[in-house]
Structure 1
C-alpha cells in the first residue's frame, strides 16, 4: 500500500488529503495518508479567534465568492446555512488627512464608466483626460508575463494608476505593480483590451462578475473561517493526522521512496510527499544547493495584523463605509477594515471592531516590525484616532505577525516555479510543491491547487 505524506495542514494540504480520500474511494483502492503540521491545530493562515463577543481572523478573513461558486465545495460540506456574505459599503483612501471615497463604479480602482472616471475625487482633470486614451489606443502587444503596472499605465495613464488603482491592487497583491505580472493579478485585462478595445469597456461589460447586483463578492461563515477547516477535517476518515510534528529533513531511500525525519526523533517512510508549507521552510528540508538557489528567488513580504474592538456602536463610523486604504505615509498602517460594519457576524452586539494591516511595503515598517504586541496596539490606536477620530479604550485586541510569509509574485515568479517543478521531477520524483508560495494566494486558488496535486498523485498511484 502506497504511503502519501502531506506536510502542512493549511487549506491546501487539507484539500489534497480530502481529494485523495475521495479518489481512493472511487477507485476502491487503499492509501496510507498521513497529514502532519508543526502547529497545534490545523488551518495554517486560517484561524478564528473568539473573544468578548467578537470574531477575529488571524489570517485570511474571507473567500472570493465567485471563485467558490463552481467548485461545489460549500454544498459538499453542507455549509450553505453557515455561509455569510460581506455587507455592501463604500471604500475610501486616506489622503491629506481625510477619507476620500473610491468610486463605487470601479473594479480594483479601475473605472467601469466615463462617469465613474469623471466623478473621481482622487484624480486631477489632466489625469482623467489622460485615462481616456484607453478608448482609442491599442498599439502595443503585451503578454501575461508582462508587468501589470506597465500595462495599466500605458493605456490608463500614470496618475490613474498611481493615485487610484495601485493603492487598491497593492492592497490585494503584495508588492509594487511594476514587479507583478498580469497573469498573477488581472489576467483577463489582456482579453478585455483585445476584445473590447478598452480595459474600461471590458470591466463595464463584465462588471456583474465583480460588482453583482447583490454585491456579495466575499463570503465567510457564521462562526468564522475556521468553519471550513473543521468541516474538511471532520470529513477525513482514512487520514492519520499528526499535530506539533515538524519535519527536519527528507532523504531518498535505497528504493523509490523517501525517509522523512522529524525534530522529535520520529522517522517516516513515504512513497509520495506533498510539501504544502512556505517555500523557505521547504527549502531547509533538502541538502541540495541548486534547489536552495532556486527557492531563494521566490520573494516574500511581511504583514502585521491588529484587531481592535470597542464597547461602542460601529455607528460612529462614516455612513455606509467598510474601510480605507492609506497609500501615503500619514499613518503607519497600509489599510483598515471596519470589520463589524463589513461582517455583521463578527460582532453580534453591533459593537465596533476594526482591523488594521501593517505591511513591509510601508516606508516606516522598519520602525514597528520588532515592537511587542503592547506597543503595536499603541500604534494602532494612534492610527485609529488620526483617521477615524476615535479615542475610546479598546475592550479586546489581537495582534498577529506573518514575518516573511506573504508571497510576492514578481515578474520572474512563473519561471522560478517552472524551474523548481522540473528539478523536483528530475531529482525527487514523487515530491510535489503546493500552496500559496507557488500557485495563488486566495483560498479558492489553494483549494484548487490541492485538488490538482491530488489528481496528479492519483494518476501516478491509483491508476497505474
Structure 2
C-alpha cells in the first residue's frame, strides 16, 4: 500500500487529504493517508467563535465564490443548503474625518469609466485631469514583474492612486503597492493597457466580467467557516488524523521519506504534501533548506478586533458595509468591516458587530504589538468613536493577533516559488509544497491548490507502481 503524509491541518491540508481519499475511492487503489496537525484542532487560521449571540471568525471571514475548487468541494460535502452570501452595499474610504464612497463603477478603486473618475469625492479636479492622461497614447516598458504602484502612477497620476486605489489594494494584498508586482496582483491591467491603450478603457470594455462578480461574490456558511472544517473532517473516515502532533524533521531515504514526529517516533511514506508555511517547511527540512532560497519568502502581520454592541445594526450609515482608511484619516485602524451588515448570520438579532484591522504597514503597529488587551480595546473604541460616533460599551470583544503569519507576495515571490519547486523536484521528487505561502492567498485558492497537489502526488504514485 502506498502511504502519503499530509503535514498541516489547515484548509489546504484538509482539502488535499480529502481529495486523496476521493481519488483512492474513485480508482479502487489502496492508499494510506495520514494528516498531521500540530494544534489540537483542525482548520489552521479558520476558526469560528460564538459569543453573546455573535458569530466571529479569527481568520478570513469569507471565501471568494468564483473559485471552481470551493464550488466542487461544497457539492462533494453536501453543504449547499448551508451556504450564505454577503450583503452588497457601499464601501467607503475614510479620509479627512469623513466617509467617502468608493465609486461603484470601479475595480479596487480603479475607475471603469471617465464618469466614475469624475464622480469620486476623494480626488481634486487637478488629480482627475492627471488621471485622464491614461486615455492618451503612450509607449511603456512595464512587465508582469513591474511594481503595480509604479505602473498605476505612470498612467493614472499620483493623487488618484494614493487617495483611492492604494488603500484598497494594500488592504486586499497586505502590502505596499510598491512592493507588489502586476503579476501577483492584477496582471490583466497590463493586458488592458497594451490592448486598449488605456487601463480605464480596458476595464470598461470588460465591465461584464467584473459586474458579474460584484454581487454575492463572497460566501460563508450559516454557522461560520468552521462548518467547512468540521464537514471535511467528518468526510474523511479513511484518513488517519493526528492532532496535537508536531512534525519535527523530514528526511529522504532510499525507499521514500521518513518523518520524525514528537511522541510518535518515525513515520514512513512514499510521498509528502507540505501544507504549512514557508518557515515551517524550512524548519522541517533543516540543513537541507537553503537559507538564500527561504529568505526570499516574506510574511506580514495583522491584528484584528471584533466589537459587538447592544445597538441596532441600523445605526450604521445606510447601505454601507465598511470602510478603509487613507491618509489624514484621524483614526489608527487600517479598515473596518461592518460585519453584522455584510453577514446577517453573524448577528441573528440584528445587533451591531464590527471588525477592525491593524496591519504591520501601519506606522503605529510597533506600539500596537506591545499593547495588552485593555489598551487594544481602548484603541478600537477610540477609532469607532472617531469614525462612526459609537460611544457605547461593547458587549463582546475578540482580539486576534497573527504576527509574521500572513504571506506577502513581494517583487521576488514568483521566482522564489519556482526555485523552491525546482529544488524539491530535484532533491525531494515526491514532496510538494502547497498553500497560501506559495500559490495564492485566500481560502478558495488554498482549496484549489490542496486539491491540485493531491492529484499530482496521486498520479505520480500510480505511475511509479
- Identify the TM-score tier after normalising by the shorter chain: over 0.9
Moved more, 422-431 or 216-225: 422-431
Q: Distance in 2 between matches of 1:304 and 1:86?
A: 23
Give 1:274's aligned residue: 273
Contact 2:102 2:109 in 1 (8 A): yes
CA positional deviation for 1:237: 2.8
Any residues of structure 2 matched to 1:177-188 within 5 Å, and which? 177-188=177-188
Q: Deviations over 1:334-389 (max 9, x none)?
A: 10000001111110000000000010000110011122223211111111111111
Contact 1:137 1:155 in 2 (8 A): no
Q: Distance in 2 between matches of 1:165 and 1:400?
A: 27
Give 1:74's aligned residue: 74
Any residues of structure 2 matched to 1:32-181 within 5 Å, and which? 32-68=32-68, 71-181=71-181
Give 2:313's aligned residue: 314
Moved more, 185-194 or 303-312: 185-194
Contact 2:347 2:353 in 1 (8 A): yes
CA positional deviation for 1:163: 0.9
Contact 1:175 1:361 in 2 (8 A): yes
CA positional deviation for 1:70: 8.3
SS at the partner of 1:211? helix
The gaps in structure 1 that reach 5 residues or longer are none
Give 1:225's aligned residue: 225
Any residues of structure 2 matched to 1:54-453 within 5 Å, and which? 54-68=54-68, 71-212=71-212, 215-253=215-253, 255-288=254-287, 291-328=290-327, 330-453=330-453
Contact 2:66 2:213 in 1 (8 A): no
Contact 2:3 2:270 in 1 (8 A): yes
SS at the partner of 2:200? helix
Compared CA separation, residues 100 and 15, structure 1 to 2 (3 A) = same
Q: Distance in 2 between matches of 1:274 and 1:373?
A: 37
When the two chains are superposed, the root-mean-square deviation of aligned CA atoms in Å is 1.7
Q: Deviations over 1:294-315 (max 9, x none)?
A: 1121111101010000011011
Compare the two structures and name the one with the higher helix fraction.
2
SS at the partner of 2:17? helix
SS at the partner of 2:152? helix
Moved more, 38-47 or 346-355: 38-47
Q: Distance in 2 between matches of 1:208 and 1:81?
A: 28
Give 2:16's aligned residue: 16
CA positional deviation for 1:214: 7.1
Contact 2:69 2:444 in 1 (8 A): no
Moved more, 122-131 or 230-239: 230-239
The gaps in structure 2 that reach 5 residues or longer are none
Compared CA separation, residues 350 and 442, structure 1 to 2 (3 A) = same
Compared CA separation, residues 131 and 55, structure 1 to 2 (3 A) = same
CA positional deviation for 1:240: 0.5
Contact 2:102 2:120 in 1 (8 A): yes
CA positional deviation for 1:241: 0.4
TM-score by length of 1: 0.96
Q: Distance in 2 between matches of 1:149 and 1:214?
A: 24
